[in-house]
Amino acid sequence: MSKQFDVVVIGGGPGGYIAAIRAAQLGFNTACIDEWKNAKNGPAPGGTCTNVGCIPSKALLQSSEHYEHAGHAFAEHGIEVKGLGLNLGQMLARKDNVVKQNNEGILYLFKKNKVTFFHGRGSFVKGDANAYEINVAGATEETITAKHIIVATGSNPRALPGTPFDEKLILSNTGALAIEAVPAKLGVIGAGVIGLEMGSVWRRLGSDVSVLEALPTFLGAVDDQIAKEAAKLFTKQGLKVSLGVTIGAITAGKNDVTVEYVDAAGAAQKVVYDKLIVSIGRTPNTIGLNAEGVGLQLDERGFIAVDADCKTNLPNVWAVGDVVRGPMLAHKAEEEGVAVAERIAGQHGHVNFNTIPWVIYTSPEIAWVGKTEQQLKADGVAYKAGTFPFLANGRARALGDTSGMVKFLADAKTDEILGVHIVGPMASELISEAVVAMEFRASAEDIARICHAHPSLSEATKEAALAVDKRSLNF
Ligand SMILES: Cc1cc2nc3c(=O)[nH]c(=O)nc-3n(C[C@H](O)[C@H](O)[C@H](O)COP(=O)(O)OP(=O)(O)OC[C@H]3O[C@@H](n4cnc5c(N)ncnc54)[C@H](O)[C@@H]3O)c2cc1C
Active site residues: 454
Q: What is the mean pLDDT of residues 133-142?
A: 96
> 321 and 14 in contact (C-beta within 8 Å)?
yes
Q: Give the model's pLDDT for residue 453.
A: 98
Q: Give the model's pLDDT for residue 238.
A: 87
- Band (pLDDT 50/70/90 cuts) for residue 96 is very high
Kindly give the number of the ligand 1 atom that is closest to the alpha carbon of 157: 53
Measure the CA–CA gap between 453 and 415, rounded to whole angstroms. 24
Measure the CA–CA gap between 102 and 211, rounded to whole angstroms. 31
Q: Omega of the bond prior to 364 within 30 degrees of 0, cis?
A: yes
Question: What does DSSP assign to residue 286?
Answer: -
394 lines ligand 1 (CB under 6 A): no
Measure the CA–CA gap between 273 and 259, rounded to whole angstroms. 8
Q: Give the model's pLDDT for residue 196.
A: 96
Q: Give the model's pLDDT for residue 397.
A: 97
Q: What is the mean pLDDT of residues 280-292?
A: 97
Q: Is the pLDDT of residue 268 over 90?
A: yes
Q: Is the pLDDT of residue 203 over 90?
A: yes
43 lines ligand 1 (CB under 6 A): no
Kindly write down the DSSP assignment for every residue of 227-264, as one continuous string. HHHHHHHHHHHT-EEE-S-EEEEEEE-SS-EEEEEE-T
Q: Looking at domain 355-468, which of 3.30.390.30, 3.40.50.880, 3.40.50.1820, 3.10.20.600 is its CATH number?
A: 3.30.390.30
The alpha-carbon radius of gyration of the chain (Å, integer) is 24
Query: 366 forms bridges with which residues in the sheet?
Result: 360, 423
Q: Parse the chain into domains and list their residue ranges.
A: 3-157+283-351, 170-280, 355-468
Pairing relation of β-strands 405-411 and 383-389?
Answer: antiparallel
Fold match flag (170-280 vs 355-468) = no
Measure the CA–CA gap between 240 and 329, rounded to whole angstroms. 26
Q: What is the pLDDT of residues 369-418, one digit of tens each?
A: 999 999 999 999 999 999 999 999 999 999 999 999 999 999 999 999 99
Q: Is the pLDDT of residue 1 over 80?
A: no
Q: Looking at domain 3-157+283-351, which of 3.40.50.2300, 3.50.50.60, 3.30.360.10, 3.10.20.30 is its CATH number?
A: 3.50.50.60
- Report the mean per-residue pLDDT for the chain: 97
Measure the CA–CA gap between 250 and 30, rounded to whole angstroms. 47
Listed residue (135, 139, 123) closest to 37, CA to CA? 139
pTM reported for the whole predicted model: 0.97
Q: What is the pLDDT of residues 44-67, one digit of tens each?
A: 999 999 999 999 999 999 999 999
Q: Give the model's pLDDT for residue 177.
A: 98
Q: Is the pLDDT of residue 275 over 80?
A: yes
Q: Looking at domain 170-280, which of 3.40.190.10, 3.50.50.60, 3.30.413.10, 3.40.640.10 is its CATH number?
A: 3.50.50.60
Quote the ligand 1 centre to 35 CA distance (angstroms).
12
Quote the ligand 1 centre to 475 CA distance (angstroms).
42
- Phi then psi for residue 313, to 5 deg, are -75, -15
464 lines ligand 1 (CB under 6 A): no
C-alpha distances in Å from residue 157, one per residue of 175, 176, 230, 285: 11, 12, 25, 10
- Band (pLDDT 50/70/90 cuts) for residue 9 is very high
312 lines ligand 1 (CB under 6 A): no
Query: 411 forms bridges with which residues in the sheet?
Result: 383
Q: What is the mean pLDDT of residues 30-41?
A: 97
